[in-house]
């Protein structure tokens, strides 16, 4: 008996019990839709994180003072340590071959006041290169100059959130004077909006000013709280980190056995860690969703057993007129696979629809490989759970089968 006739017989057998066939498919439909949706959520989260890291600067390196140092049995905050000096910044700028930009960072938090309006924010003392490192750009006005840094000029560039909170009457922020801890700062530029990142942080709630101004006029310090740098290429991050570490250890006169009094992190390291977490989460979600596929497969096995029992006389008649065991096995196996694949196709459609709905609230991304994987699993489920009932049918004794009531 050829495969075309077997498929026709299987389709006719399934059409005779439409409701039972649909209920059997339901487990597969739910399982496939769940797997596709969970994988879409996981992939969407991964892509969203990668996009955010790219916006922050995927080749960025962050240098902080003494991340693992303790004083008096208490772990110190990196911002309170004084191991990073201007000499370190200058050495890194002059000697590092794999960096395109380096910026000192000192910051302070407080109320920013304009007229009767005020808003809490953070003022960051940086260099001009900070815009390149963090992928910011000026929307209106200009960035402060190197001359402003040298003379510690009281000028600043503000983010859109700060501008919206302070200038509620539609004033142009450029040229206005705001006060931070009673120190007047003239606004010379407004940053282009970047919105919120995946961790819920407002990237527009910041003020940038010359680092020398913040050091001298706001914090009264001579050390740096941190350094940000940009690598020529992302794949050179490790080489750049080793080079920076060598410079800092030399500047800090650390002996070979001494621990580093600084911490260096790269966005590549953070990206790798986040991708590992999201991958594990995606696998976990898909595994939980895959349980429903197993349940659907058990449903197929159960219904195929019932079908074999109901059609025992039919099987005996087919065998008595020349049908071989392989023909009977193929017939029931094809029925099982048709149930599984039809349920899989409907499940894929449901998976796409649910993913699109979820995408209205959070990022999702349906991958072609997840659809192909679902179909492969559906086929395997149909074969695996349909094999034993089909084999049982093929092994029936024709005479006993015909006599079966």
- Return the closest-CA partner of residue 381 out of 115, 110, 28: 28
pLDDT digits (tens, 9 = 90+) for 55-73: 666 688 899 997 554 444 4
pLDDT digits (tens, 9 = 90+) for 200-240: 678 899 999 999 999 999 999 999 999 999 998 878 888 99
- The whole-angstrom separation of Cα 150 and Cα 153 is 8
Helix extents (H) in 311-360: 312-320, 325-358
The three-class DSSP label of residue 199 is coil
Which of 126-140, 194-208, 322-336 shows the highest mean pLDDT? 126-140
pLDDT digits (tens, 9 = 90+) for 333-352: 888 888 888 888 888 888 88
Specify burial of residue 70 (Cβ count, 10 A radius: 0-12, 13-18, 19+).
Answer: exposed
Within 13 Å, how many C-alpha atoms sit on residue 20's CB side? 13
Within 13 Å, how many C-alpha atoms sit on residue 84's CB side? 27
Q: What percent of the chain lies above the pLDDT cut of 70? A: 89
Give the gyration radius of the chain's Cα atoms: 33
Distances (CA, A) of 290 to 282, 377, 381: 12, 10, 11
339 in Cβ contact with 21 (< 8 Å): yes
189 in Cβ contact with 183 (< 8 Å): no
Q: Quickly state the pLDDT bin for 13 (edges 50, 70, 90).
A: confident
- Say what the pLDDT of residue 199 is: 63
- The whole-angstrom separation of Cα 395 and Cα 326 is 9
Mean of the pLDDT values across residues 380-398?
A: 75
Q: Partners of 99 in the beta sheet? A: 231
pTM confidence score: 0.63
Q: Quickly state the pLDDT bin for 366 (edges 50, 70, 90).
A: confident
Average pLDDT score over the chain: 83
Q: Partners of 113 in the beta sheet? A: 118, 179
Task: For the chain, report the end-to-end CA distance as a whole number of angstroms.
Answer: 27
The continuous run of DSSP H or E covering 105 comes out as strand 99-114
- Say what the pLDDT of residue 71 is: 45
pLDDT digits (tens, 9 = 90+) for 76-120: 555 556 789 999 999 999 999 999 999 999 999 999 999 889 999
């Amino acid at each position: 008996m050829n495969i075309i006739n077997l498929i026709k017989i299987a389709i006719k057998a399934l059409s005779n019990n439409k409701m039972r066939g649909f209920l059997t498919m339901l487990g597969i439909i739910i399982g496939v839709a769940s797997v596709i949706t969970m994988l879409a959520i996981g992939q969407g989260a991964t892509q969203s994180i990668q996009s955010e890291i790219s916006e922050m600067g995927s080749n960025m390196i962050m240098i902080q003072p003494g991340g693992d140092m303790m004083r008096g049995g208490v772990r110190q905050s990196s911002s309170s340590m004084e191991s990073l000096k201007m000499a370190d910044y200058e050495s890194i700028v002059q000697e590092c071959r794999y960096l395109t930009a380096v910026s000192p960072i000192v910051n302070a938090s407080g109320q920013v006041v304009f007229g009767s309006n005020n808003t809490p924010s953070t003022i960051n003392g940086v260099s001009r290169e900070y815009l390149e490192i963090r992928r910011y750009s000026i929307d209106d006005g200009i960035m402060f100059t190197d001359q402003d840094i040298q003379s510690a000029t009281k000028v600043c560039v503000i983010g859109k959130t700060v501008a919206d909170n302070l200038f509620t009457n539609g004033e142009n922020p450029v040229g206005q004077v705001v006060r931070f801890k009673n120190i007047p700062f003239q606004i010379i530029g407004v940053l282009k909006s970047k919105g919120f990142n995946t961790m819920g942080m407002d990237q527009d709630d910041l003020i940038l000013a010359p680092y020398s101004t913040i050091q001298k006029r706001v914090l009264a310090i001579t050390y740096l709280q941190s350094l940000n740098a940009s690598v020529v290429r992302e794949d050179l991050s490790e080489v750049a980190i080793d080079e920076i570490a060598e410079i800092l250890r030399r500047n800090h006169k650390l002996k070979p056995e001494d621990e580093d009094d600084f911490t260096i992190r790269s966005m590549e390291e953070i990206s790798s860690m986040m991708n590992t977490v999201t991958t594990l989460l995606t696998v976990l979600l898909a595994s939980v969703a895959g349980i429903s596929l197993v349940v659907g497969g058990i449903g197929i096995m159960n219904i195929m057993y019932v079908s074999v029992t109901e059609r025992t006389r039919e099987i005996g008649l087919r065998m008595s007129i020349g049908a071989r065991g392989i023909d009977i096995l193929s017939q029931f196996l094809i029925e099982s696979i048709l149930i599984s694949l039809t349920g899989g196709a409907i499940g894929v459609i449901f998976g796409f629809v649910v993913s699109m709905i979820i995408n209205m609230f959070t990022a999702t991304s349906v991958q072609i490989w997840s659809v192909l994987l679902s179909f492969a699993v559906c086929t395997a489920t149909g074969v695996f759970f349909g094999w034993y009932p089909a084999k049982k049918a093929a092994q029936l004794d024709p005479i006993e089968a015909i006599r079966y009531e």
